[in-house]
Each structure stands twice: as structure tokens, then as C-alpha cells.
Chain A
Amino acid sequence: MADLLRAASLLAACCILLPAADGSDSPGLALLKASCSHCHGGPEPQGGFLLSSLTEGPEPDSLERWKKSLEFVRAEVMPPVQGGRLPPAHRRQLVAFLRKEVHRRSGGAGASPAAPMRRLNNRELAHSIRDVLMIEDVGTHQPMSGLVGDTLQDGFDTIGDALGMSQFHLEQYIEAFRKIVGATVLPGDRPSSRQYRVAAGDMRMTSLSQQRRPARANRTAESIDFLDPRLRVYFANFERAPATGKYRIRVRATGKDRGVYETAETGIYDGDPIRLRIHLGDRTRTFDLPDEAQTEIELEEWIAAGTRLELSYPTDGLRLRGNGNFKFQYSIAHDHLQEADPALYEAVLRDRLPRAPARTAKNPRHWSHWTEQWQGPRPRLFSAEIEGPLYDAWPPKRQVALLGTAPAAGDAAKILRPIAERAWRREVLDGELDPIVELVQALAGDHATQEGHVRALREGIVAVLASPAFLLVNSDQGAASDRFASKFSYFLRGTLPDRHIREAARDGRLEGFAAVLDEVRRRISRSEAEEFLREFPHAWLELDRINFMAPDPDRFPLYSRKRLSEDMVAEVLRFFRHAVESNVPVPELLSANYTFVNADLARVYGVSGVPQDSQLRRYTFTGGRRGGMLGMGAFLTLTADSLSTSPIHRAVFVLEKFLGIRPAPPPADVEIAEPDVRQARTIKETLAAHTSEPTCASCHAGIDPYGYAFENFDPVGAWREQYTMHVAPRPSRSALREIEVEDRERAAKGLPPVEKPWENEPIRVDSSSRFPGGPEYRDITEYRRHLLSEENRERFIRCFIEKLLTYANGVEPTESAALDEIVAKSQENGFRIVETIAAVVDSPLFRDEQVRN
């Protein structure tokens, strides 16, 4: 097995020698032999791969080789340019032949693997429980925090093979379900409600250190101000909710001192309102505060017993000075007062310096002198009131909706059936509920009180949720219409199907492309595809990896200090949302000359005239360098190292994410040289081995050209004309004289001279290259033009469709006629993105029926 895998990864070419049974080859086969046999025959075939191997061995393995061949020929990696270019007509013929072979060998559409049964991933699990119990979310007591995390595969959290199940999962599930149900169904007497008045004096700051020393806070008798945005405020007389129920929370607050200090110093834009965030466990609510005017925020929330109530100041600013710790920002007060109020400035110094320790007394600018003068933008809190727990009725309506008013264990079957039907996403079979009903009745016993009945039924709900019928999706149980409704719902909404979709599917109202398109449109317009709009681009582009190799904090300080990765991810999601909501053609994701930027991203992208705030707005670029996904900071950063960029990583990203080509990893026995940035070498020179070493060249000739064009973008995605090598500051003249002397001495001993990093000249970026088997390009603008050629556009559409199917099915689709049909359907509709999504949903590959039957 391992050997076969290795062999497959070594495969770098398209080829096989097929004996023609009747002595004459079909035109496609003849072309294949003519184009490939020269290099891939004989005792030492190129890429270590022998032609005839395609027809050897068991079908699944040779099929893999056929697919790989198709991939390489389609990607124009093979045949290589060196052997003379293959005329486009021939290439098309060869691709058609290979595709036909692949289809034939994989037995048409049916061979695409069925969506494998898998467990729900954690986000689907949370949404599903929410909808089974008909509540707003799983609760504020973080009931799911103990769950084992999901393993991502190529960014996707829906991959069947990666979502295993173990006793650890099961135990944590049961525990989590019990907590969630426990905060929804409340046995016993109605807890009494009371009012909590929180004066400014009752408000406390959390502390970052382990000691329980209260953090510094600017407070008066009437108010408390946020300083360090990492700290939160809590209420000493209401730290945690005493009982589960609804609470009415009122907070009086104002925004203070917006715009007193310069944005350049605080990192906070004048255009952004000062905000206040209320944390109830994982649930947060955020409010804009008016400037210098007290306002009252009011909210009503269902809160689980034990939930901490905290307030915070959400901002990505106040981290620019010193090492980013808040205390260093106080020196902004120094700089400001020195200019704005010299009298006060002098007074503070007269007051502080004599009392300061010797170490800081010498430095008037030291932060410790200015803590009392802080006028940075911040929320100010005055007082709060909390009332609760409040109930709309007793038992609360949410409980009555689940169990009825006076539930009895004897009615367990009747009570649990609709809950199970929601949870299991299908009709409950006769007798299927019996073990759970028996459990409930055994727990209740013969003489249960009302509370005892409710407690027993609560365990019944836990058992319904712990059932494999709930935890495992893509099962082949139940009616076909229910299975489709389920799949559709998890695809768009990440949760179980609602009644509407199940009925529509049952009544045959979701048959055919037009009906599916209608439903997809309806869901998008009703904001019922939010999960898809967020999770799909995240998975497709592996956005979770953006900080796997974060840009160097010294060289690119803004990146970490202004949390640019959050802006970059938000940009991708905003752009994708726009694409879907405006139903643009799929290729526009790459070809767009616009994207969405805020003031932070504008600084990275070097654009001006953007409003000074954090809101993302559409911006149109001229000049053809940026716009769409190819110019996005997220892509350019997550493919770069911390100090340097890598054309290979960027090329592989473009190939895998946009063109649907998965280059083979380097053979295991290749020793990869470590990049050496001390020498003034361009990345092209470093990668010279890729064209000179035959083992490297066979693959890299097809990879690297897809990445060189991005060399004009540095590790955070900013434009550059030249590499700024690690130029050290030039030493003083006396130091230079000493070095001169030392060099003479070293020369006398036959030693090389002292390294002089400051003498490195910046080197011009060369972002030109030649596509494998295709045209040359000079820079990113020409590259982009070629990447939108008709052939590449088709690849991109196909790739996009494959990613949608991977997300939906939890397994990668393989070449098939059904896949071709989706592409054709998309084309019929001008490649518009919503129609393309609908074509995927309507496809047998999504509906899965052919495969099952």
C-alpha cells in the first residue's frame, strides 16, 4: 500500500503504452502515444514512471493514474514545452480522450463516491440542537466547550473520513446535551426574581495576572472607564446568573474622547463609533455608544445559571506603542499634552517627577507619569440594572413547546416523537423510540412528582440526541425526500431541515433545476444561507491557516498590532457575500477589478480616499494589479512565510484552490535546501535548482510559473517594486574604520572579510515567467489576463463546483459525466454563481440517489 502511494506521488506524467487489440489505435490513443511515449517509455522513464503501468494493477490504482494524466494534460503541465508545443486542437482532443477513458473506467456518474455517513461536526451539532429544542443557541454556559475539536481536511470540516467517533466524543456529547437540555427544561418551582442595582462602585475590572489584585481603572464615584481593551468589566453584585431564565439588563454608558488623540498614535479611526460589548458566555451583543452623551442600553436575554456577565471594549487599536501592552500607550498622553496644554504638561511633570523612582524620573515621556491624563477613546460606564430571572409563564413557554404543560412519563412516546422526528430528520419508525421511552419511565418510577416526570423526560431528550440517528448524517435511512431536505439544509444552513423544506421535498416541489434554484434564491434572500456564506469560503480558501505563519512582527508591525488578519478574512467573506447576493458570474471571483476595503486594508493595498473607519466598502482598482481573490491580503499572506514570500506556495494555492490541480508533493527522498536570506539572492535564484535539477524540474516546471507573478506582493500582500533585503543600519564611521582594520587582519590569515549586511543593494522584483506550455507574462497584470483565458476559466468553474461538492458531500468528487453536466448547466446560465450553486444541488452527485439505488 505504502509503495503504491509512493508510486502515485511520483507520477509526473500522462502516459501509458496501450497495446491496441486490433492493431490499430483510435485517434485519441494514437495521439496519446505520439505525445507521451517518447519520454515515458524505455528502461528509465521520465518522472520515474513507466507508461504501461496505466493498464497494470487493479482498476482503482490505474484509474488514479488516468485521472492524474488528465489533470496534467489539462493543466498544460504535460507534455512539457521542451518537447515542442502541443497544438491547442491536439490538446483538446487529448483531454477529451483522457476524460472519456476516466469516465469509462469509473463507470460513469455512479462511481463518484456517495456522501459518506459521518458524524455532525461541532458547528452543525450546535445549530442542530438549537433547532431540535427551538431555542436561540445552545446556551450561555458554554456547554460544548469540552467537545473534541473537528479535524479539518484541506480546510473542510465536513470530510467524512476526518470526522471519526470515539468514546471520548460520546461521553462529551452526553455531558454537553445534558447541560443544554438542562438550561431549557426547568423542573421544579419557579425561581424568584429580583432586581440588582449596579453602581459604578460595584463595577470591577478583570485582571490579566493570576493575582486577585484589581487592575488599574479610571473611576470616579459615578463612573468607570475602560482602559486596556484586553480587560473586561464585571459586576461585583452580579458576577454570575443565579438561575436559568430571562434577564433584563440595562447599562448606562457613553463614549468618551473620540478623536482627541491622532489615529496614527492610537490605531483607532475617528470614523468608528466607540462600542461596548456585552458577553454572556459565548454569546455577545455589541452596541455603538454616542459620544459624550449618556445612553441606556437595554437587552433581554435567556441566560443559563452560572453564566458570567462581562463587558468589554472591542477595538483593534491601542497596541501600537512599546511591545503592544496597554501601559505603553500612556505616553500618547505625554505627546498630546506637550502640544495641546503646555501648562498642564509642566504641572504634571512638576508633580510626578520628584516622586518617581530614579529609573523613570530621567524620562519625562515614560508611560508611568501619564496614567492620570489618559484621554484615549473609551467607553465610560455609569450604572446598570439587572432584573431576573423573568419568565413569560411557568413552566416557561420554551419548555411547554417541547413537553406540554403537565408532562407525564406515561406520555413519553407522544412527547418525544416530534422531538425525535426533528432530531433524526426523518419519520420515527415503529418501536424505534421504545428503548428511550422505557428509559424515561424507569427513571420516573411509579410515584413520580411533576418534577420527577420532567427530569425523566429531560433524560429522554438527551437519549434522543445521543442516538446515532441524530449524530450521524448522510445515513441512508428514511425517505429519499427527507434525505435530500437534510442535505440541502446542512449545505446552506449548517443545520437540520425545517418543516418547510421537508414538506416541499416530500411533495415533489424540489424536483428539477428551476425548483431548486427558486429555493436557493429564497433562502439567500431570507438570510438563511449565512452559514454557507461564511463557512464555505473559509473552508475553500483555508482561511483558518492565515496565521499559521504570521508575518514577522518586527518587519510588518501593523499586521499583528492592528489584527490585520481579521480584516483580511472579513474582506474575503464580504466579497463572497457580494458575489452571491449580486449573483455575479463565477469567473468574476478572479477577474473582478474591485474588492472590499476598510481604512486598515487601504493602508496595506496603498489606496487613498477611503473613509477613515473599519467598515468594508467596495473599492474599484485601476491598473489591473488588484481586485478579486487574486489580490486579496488573505491569500497573499497565508501563502507567504513570515519574512519572505514563496512563489511555490502561492502557485500551489492557485493550482489547488482555483484551477483544481493538485500537484504531487516532492518525493520523500528529496532534500530541500533551506532558504538563505542572508545572501542577496532573489527567490528566483534560490529556486534555480527547480529548473536545473531534472528531478525537481519535471514537476516544478509546471508549478512555479503560477506563482512568480505574485512576487510584487510582500508577505502581507502590500505592493513592492523591490525586495528590501535585510539591510542593517550603516555602522558609525569609527566602527567602519575598525572593520576595515579587521578585514586586513583576516585577509592576512586567509579568512573571508567581515559580513557587511548594510552593503546589500535592494533588488528589483522580477515577476515575469512563462506558463507551462503557454505564453510568457511580464507581471501580474499579464498573468491575470492569461489566468482568465477561456481554458482557465473553465478550469476555475469546474474547480469551484468541485469545492462546492466537497463541502456538501464530505468527499472530493471525481471526474464524471455528472460533473460535466453541472459545468454545462452553469454555462447555460452565464456561469452565474447562484445558478451554479443550484446546479450543484440539483445534480445527482448532490442528490446522491443514483448512487444509493
Chain B
Amino acid sequence: MAVNRRVVLKGIGGALTLPLLETSEAATARPPMRFLVVGNPLGMHPEHFFPAEFGTRFMLPTTLRSLEWVRDRLTIVSHSDHGMNNGHGREISFLNGVLPEHSSAYAEKNVSVDQLMARRTQGRVRFPSVHAALGSGIRMSWTANGIDLKPFTDPHKLFDHLFLNLTAQEKAVRREMIARNRSVLDAVGDQLAGLKRRASRGDRVRIDQYATSVRELETSFAEREGWIDRDKPKFDISGHFADSETTIRNRYDAIFDMVGYAFETDLTRVATVAFPNELSYTDIEGVTRGYHACTHNGKKEEVIAELVAIESFQVEQLSRCLRKLDSVQEPGTDGTLLDHTMVLFGSGMGYGGTHSNRNLPILVAGGGFRHRGHVDARAGNGGNLPLCNLYVTLLQRFGVERERFSTSTGAFELHHG
């Protein structure tokens, strides 16, 4: 078995040495499934995203053209959404189907699908999930406590987080810090009990939230302590920053490469990468306006062209990442890393130009599914597919046994094997 795993010759890192796997699980159990989400907050210009034909014999529209090579391993979903009202601000429900203000009505609040998966990997991998974007986040990923996770917005910081090994002294400091933080938590924890006893009912909710934070942080310290002494895999991203000018292209290249390598070495199994609205995309050929401004193009062709350039850039980045994942043999299988990584591309907004949150642009790649090409997901009565149905399918594929998630009414048909 161990010998078989050494088929890997050249990983994403470009290193010829065998990437050191973080966990031993891959050797003993079936290969892990990973989940990558690539999202944006403004949707996609529909005519350039959705193919005109349904089924597997479709023409790839402009925005998706870079995915031609992987078209057999794609499912593009038309007519799915979360039933949200139109307008900005609701795209943050992309991965959970529920807005923060309505989350109290749901048993699991507005936890996002990636975090449910991350929770399942907790303790088995060093990082339950990894989140990255340039500039700012787009509030995609939500914890069970209803807090949106802040992504890494600097590739170098992400690198340090994922790959930088600590010196012996740093390890000692880290351990000491954890010990000190624990004793601070102990002290306030003791105080909490008294506070809670005296608190009114209304206040108790907040104090409970605080107490949960204390408890979760304690657990997290315990887990992190276990990882301190173990070396991380080695990786190099300096190649992306060799040019005098760093562009958003080479910074995203670096981010996707790091995510791919983190999957390959089992540092994490869940990751999200976002293309925020606030970022300047003017590095891209032909783009002079702001991203958001391009969505409100008034149907002017030259402005639409800029929007499509930005969106095509996002898809090209995705395509490049898929190619990297596909270049790595998954140990112990005859498939590639891509076959063991479910990639979800999309947005919680349909199209910014109309402020529509209906018919979200959704694309699933890899994951070893028998892909279906371009699917009209409408039910018999013409209603759009609840996007959470797709998430149920993804959760099941990830190994989270459940029939329901958030606003789901069933599962989306996507088989594997």
C-alpha cells in the first residue's frame, strides 16, 4: 500500500520529492474527499454563462470557454436558487440559503455547507478549512455561531499560515501562549458562572454565546497544541512574485496553488476562494471600471465586455486550478486529485445588473461524479431547484450522512462511481 502511494512524482508544488502527507489516514482508509468553493458576490452575466443547450452536447459560452478541456467533468445547473428577494446583501446566503436575520428560525442557524464539512474533518487535518480572497472577503462561510469567517487576503500571510514551520523557539512560545490563553479563559470562565446565575433571561442568551466561544476556543487550543510539533509540508510560491509587478492574476495563481497543495498534502480538505467586489480588476486586459459598476452596464456593449472579461478571468482561474488538481494522481486510486475534489463555482446573486437573486450561476466540477452537462433543474411545476438540494448531494458525497440541509426539499441528482 505504502509503495503504491509513491506513484506521485510531481505534485502541484512542482517538487520532485514526494509531498509529505499530513495525515496517515489516506494510507489506511479510502482516499479523502475535498471541497473547494470559488465564489463571487455579483453573479454572472447570464447570456455569457449559461449554455444555450441543455444536456451534454452544449456549446460553452464566452465566460466558460476556458473550461472546454474539462467539459465532461462539469455540471452547470440552470434554475436553482435560494428563493431570496432581489438586491444586494443577500448573496451572503450563497452557501447556507439563510440570511443572518432569519437564522434563528433554523435549527442549524445559518451555518454554511463548507463548515458542516469542515466540522467533520476536525481533528483529522491540521486546518478544518482554509479561506482566501484578495482585498476583502465576501461573507460566504458562516460558522454554527452565525459568524462569517474572515479569509486570508494576503497570499503571503496565507503561505505563512499553511506552510511556514515554526522554529523550536517559536514552538515553545506558541505552547506557552496557548497555556497562558487557557488560564485567562479559565479565569473568565469561572466568572461566567456567577454572571450567568445573576443574569436576566434576555442577557443569558448573550452570555451563552460568550460561553460557547470560550468552550470552542478551549477545544481549538487543545487541537492546535497537538499539531505544534509536527512539520508542515514544504511549498514554494516565490515563482508567482518574481515579476516586478504583482497582478491580481499571479496573486490568485499563488492562492489556488496553495489550496491545491494543501489538498494534496491533506493539510485541509475544505477551502473557499472569493473574488470580491471591492478588488480592482484593472490588471485584466480591457478592464477599466469597477467590478460592481460593470454589472450596471445599462446594456452598453463595451461595459458588458468589461464585465465578461472580469468573469472570464474568474473562470480562467478556476480552470487553471482544476488543471492543477487534475495533474496530481490520487494515491491508491486510478483517479486524480480532481476526481476526489468537489469544486463548486458560483454566487449567491444571480446577476448584479438586474439585482436578481434568482437563477444563480452554479457549476460543479470534479468530485468523481458522473457529470450531467448543462441541467435544467426546474421541477415539474416550473419552480426553481432549492440550491440546498445540491448541497445535500455534496454533503453526502463528502461523507456527511444526512438527508436535509437548511432549506432543502430533497437531493439533486448527481451520481458517482
Tell me how far the C-beta of A420 lies from the nearest C-beta in chain B, rounded to whole angstroms.
10
Say yes or no: A476 contacts B200, CB within 8 Å: yes
Name the contact of B290 in the complex, choosing from A476, A642, A677 (C-beta under 8 A). A642
Tell me whether A117 is interfacial, beta carbon within 8 Å: yes
B158-212 residues with Cβ-Cβ distance < 8 A to A are: 180-181, 183-192, 194-195, 198-200, 202-203, 205-207, 209-210, 212
CB-defined A-B contacts under 8 Å, sample of 25: A117-B207, A148-B150, A165-B210, A165-B213, A166-B213, A167-B213, A167-B217, A168-B147, A170-B217, A171-B220, A432-B194, A442-B183, A443-B183, A463-B188, A468-B192, A468-B207, A472-B203, A475-B203, A550-B290, A552-B289, A667-B85, A670-B86, A674-B299, A674-B354, A676-B299
Say yes or no: A668 contacts B85, CB within 8 Å: yes
Other A-B contacts than A476-B199, A675-B299, 19 sampled, CB-CB below 8 A, are A5-B102, A9-B85, A114-B202, A151-B100, A166-B213, A166-B216, A167-B217, A170-B213, A210-B246, A211-B244, A475-B199, A476-B200, A548-B88, A550-B293, A665-B87, A667-B85, A668-B83, A674-B354, A676-B299
Tell me how far the C-beta of B200 lies from the nearest C-beta in chain A, rounded to whole angstroms.
5
Tell me whether B286 is interfacial, beta carbon within 8 Å: no
Residues of A within 8 A of B279 (CB): none
Say yes or no: B210 contacts A672, CB within 8 Å: no
Q: Report Cα–Cα, A641/B194, bound state, in Å.
A: 53
A198-247 residues with Cβ-Cβ distance < 8 A to B are: 209-211, 213
Closest to A172 in B: B150
Given A477-B195, A477-B199, A553:B288 Cβ within 8 A? yes
Q: Report Cα–Cα, A114/B105, bound state, in Å.
A: 21
Tell me whether B135 is interfacial, beta carbon within 8 Å: no
Closest to A209 in B: B244
The segment from A36-44, A433-441, A519-527 found at the interface with B is A433-441
Residues of B within 8 A of A554 (CB): 288-289
Given A117-B206, A672-B354, A166:B147 Cβ within 8 A? yes
Residues of A within 8 A of B101 (CB): 161
Q: Report Cα–Cα, A675/B150, bound state, in Å.
A: 34
Tell me how far the C-beta of B193 lies from the nearest C-beta in chain A, rounded to whole angstroms.
10
Residues of A within 8 A of B293 (CB): 549-550, 552, 642-643
Tell me whether B296 is interfacial, beta carbon within 8 Å: yes
Say yes or no: A548 contacts B292, CB within 8 Å: yes
Name the contact of B187 in the complex, choosing from A9, A119, A439, A668 (C-beta under 8 A). A439
Say yes or no: A666 contacts B86, CB within 8 Å: yes
Say yes or no: A165 contacts B191, CB within 8 Å: no
Residues of A within 8 A of B212 (CB): 167
Residues of A within 8 A of B195 (CB): 468-469, 477
Tell me whether B145 is interfacial, beta carbon within 8 Å: yes
Tell me whether B285 is interfacial, beta carbon within 8 Å: no
Residues of A within 8 A of B210 (CB): 119, 165, 170, 468, 471-472
Residues of A within 8 A of B207 (CB): 117, 468, 472
Say yes or no: A467 contacts B191, CB within 8 Å: yes
A526-559 residues with Cβ-Cβ distance < 8 A to B are: 548-550, 552-554
Tell me whether A293 is interfacial, beta carbon within 8 Å: no
Tell me whether B401 is interfacial, beta carbon within 8 Å: no
Residues of A within 8 A of B185 (CB): 170, 466
Tell me whether A336 is interfacial, beta carbon within 8 Å: no
Q: Kindly state the interface size class of chain A when it binds its partner.
A: 35 or more
Tell me how far the C-beta of B140 lies from the nearest C-beta in chain A, rounded to whole angstroms.
14
Say yes or no: B292 contacts A116, CB within 8 Å: no
Say yes or no: B202 contacts A463, CB within 8 Å: no
Q: Is the interface of A mostly helix, strand, loop or mixed?
A: loop
Q: Report Cα–Cα, A550/B298, bound state, in Å.
A: 15
Residues of B within 8 A of A162 (CB): 100
Say yes or no: A171 contacts B354, CB within 8 Å: no
Tell me whether B355 is interfacial, beta carbon within 8 Å: yes
Say yes or no: B299 contacts A439, CB within 8 Å: no
Tell me whether A174 is interfacial, beta carbon within 8 Å: yes
Residues of A within 8 A of B244 (CB): 209-211, 213
Tell me how far the C-beta of B321 lies from the nearest C-beta in chain A, rounded to whole angstroms.
23
Q: Report Cα–Cα, A75/B37, bound state, in Å.
A: 45
Tell me whether A264 is interfacial, beta carbon within 8 Å: no
> What are the 8 A-B residue pairs with the smallest beta carbon separation, nearest first?
A677-B298, A435-B190, A1-B105, A167-B216, A167-B217, A642-B293, A166-B147, A117-B206
Tell me whether A149 is interfacial, beta carbon within 8 Å: yes
Say yes or no: B213 contacts A549, CB within 8 Å: no
Closest to B106 in A: A1
A131-189 residues with Cβ-Cβ distance < 8 A to B are: 148-149, 151, 160-162, 164-171, 174
Say yes or no: B292 contacts A169, CB within 8 Å: no
Residues of B within 8 A of A164 (CB): 145-147, 209
Say yes or no: A459 contacts B354, CB within 8 Å: no
Tell me whether A343 is interfacial, beta carbon within 8 Å: no
Residues of A within 8 A of B213 (CB): 165-167, 169-170
Q: Report Cα–Cα, A114/B206, bound state, in Å.
A: 14
Say yes or no: A459 contacts B87, CB within 8 Å: no
Tell me whether B353 is interfacial, beta carbon within 8 Å: yes
Tell me whether A617 is interfacial, beta carbon within 8 Å: no
Say yes or no: A468 contacts B191, CB within 8 Å: yes
Residues of B within 8 A of A211 (CB): 244
Q: Report Cα–Cα, A174/B88, bound state, in Å.
A: 34
A647-675 residues with Cβ-Cβ distance < 8 A to B are: 665-668, 670-675
Tell me whether B248 is interfacial, beta carbon within 8 Å: no
Say yes or no: A1 contacts B187, CB within 8 Å: no
Say yes or no: A435 contacts B102, CB within 8 Å: no
Interface flags, A627-650, vs B, CB<8A=1, else 0 = 000000000000001111000000
Residues of B within 8 A of A2 (CB): 102, 105, 407
Say yes or no: A168 contacts B150, CB within 8 Å: yes
Residues of A within 8 A of B86 (CB): 665-666, 668, 670, 672
Tell me whether B300 is interfacial, beta carbon within 8 Å: yes
Given A2-B105, A167-B213, A439:B194 Cβ within 8 A? no
Q: Report Cα–Cα, A235/B160, bound state, in Å.
A: 28
Tell me whether A118 is interfacial, beta carbon within 8 Å: yes
Q: Report Cα–Cα, A743/B149, bound state, in Å.
A: 57
Closest to B299 in A: A676
Q: Report Cα–Cα, A235/B148, bound state, in Å.
A: 40
Closest to B243 in A: A210
Residues of A within 8 A of B358 (CB): 668, 671
Tell me how far the C-beta of A434 lies from the nearest C-beta in chain B, rounded to whole angstroms.
8
Tell me whether A678 is interfacial, beta carbon within 8 Å: yes
Given A166-B147, A552-B289, A672:B356 Cβ within 8 A? yes
Q: Report Cα–Cα, A300/B364, bound state, in Å.
A: 59
Tell me whether B245 is interfacial, beta carbon within 8 Å: yes
Q: Report Cα–Cα, A459/B177, bound state, in Å.
A: 11
Tell me whether A462 is interfacial, beta carbon within 8 Å: yes
Closest to A208 in B: B245
Given A9-B85, A117-B202, A472-B210, A462:B184 Cβ within 8 A? yes
Tell me how far the C-beta of B120 lies from the nearest C-beta in chain A, rounded to whole angstroms.
18
Tell me whether A726 is interfacial, beta carbon within 8 Å: yes
Tell me how far the C-beta of B374 lies from the nearest C-beta in chain A, rounded to whole angstroms.
21
Say yes or no: B202 contacts A116, CB within 8 Å: yes
Say yes or no: A477 contacts B149, CB within 8 Å: no
Closest to B206 in A: A117
Tell me whether B60 is interfacial, beta carbon within 8 Å: no
Say yes or no: A165 contacts B209, CB within 8 Å: yes
Given A5-B102, A168-B147, A668-B86, A467:B299 Cβ within 8 A? no
Residues of B within 8 A of A213 (CB): 244
Q: Report Cα–Cα, A548/B181, bound state, in Å.
A: 39
B126-148 residues with Cβ-Cβ distance < 8 A to A are: 143, 145-148
Residues of A within 8 A of B217 (CB): 167, 170-171
Interface flags, B79-103, vs A, CB<8A=1, else 0 = 0000111111000000000001110
Residues of A within 8 A of B299 (CB): 674-678
Q: Report Cα–Cα, A471/B185, bound state, in Å.
A: 14
Say yes or no: B145 contacts A675, CB within 8 Å: no
Residues of B within 8 A of A171 (CB): 181, 217, 220
Tell me whether B241 is interfacial, beta carbon within 8 Å: yes
Closest to B241 in A: A210
Residues of B within 8 A of A429 (CB): 194
